[in-house]
A = this chain, B = another copy of it.
């Protein structure tokens, strides 16, 4: 019931890039230093954020990372799902074979959790990185 460390680091990365001028290229070392993230660990999560379309990367001399969209178009949910995959409160909400009653409409717990999960997901999607600046 907790977001993991990689996601937390990613929040910081995206928030930091959001404070930069639009289109600015920031190298990994600068990000790692300012956000207190282990350099090697950063290298593990950045490609994931890149594949998710949240940032773009540029290799070679003078390369680094660039925020791919406007901060108003990136939500906490985008980052969470990029790193951890879809939010699932219970494994019966991933695969109904895990549900003791084999899914709705028979399992009341399943139904209640599904509703809460829907609202939680919406909450995470409501928060945009532009909201977190200043």
Contacts and interface: CB of A to CB of B under 8 A. Distances in A.
Interface in A4-39: 5, 8, 11-12, 15, 35-36
Interface residues of A, number: 33
B120 A108 contact: no
A1 B88 contact: yes
A114 to B, nearest CB: 12
A5 B90 CA distance: 8
Contact of A109 (B11, B36, B120): B11
A61 interface: no
A11 B90 CA distance: 12
> Main SS of the interface on chain A?
helix
Interface string A92-134: 1000000010000000110011001001100110010001110
Q: Top 10 A-B pairs ranked by shortest CB distance? A: A108-B132, A116-B123, A11-B109, A112-B127, A3-B90, A120-B120, A1-B87, A12-B100, A2-B88, A3-B89
17 contacts: A1-B1, A1-B2, A1-B87, A2-B88, A5-B91, A8-B90, A8-B109, A12-B100, A12-B109, A36-B100, A108-B131, A108-B132, A109-B132, A112-B131, A116-B123, A119-B119, A120-B120
